[in-house]
Amino acid sequence: MKKVLCVAMVALVLGGCGDKAKTMTCKITKEESGVTMDINMKLEYKGKVVLKQIQTGTVKTDNDSALGILYTSMESLGYADKADGMKGVTYSLEKNDGKKEIVEKMTMDLEKISAKDYNTMTNNASHASDNFKVGIKETREGLETQGFTCEE
Report field, pTM of the whole predicted structure over 0.85: no
Whether 66 contacts 47, CB under 8 Å: no
What digits encode the pLDDT tens for the residues 98-108? Answer: 999 999 999 99
Report the percent of the chain where pLDDT is more than 90: 70
Question: Residue 13: which pLDDT band, with cuts at 50, 70 and 90?
Answer: very low
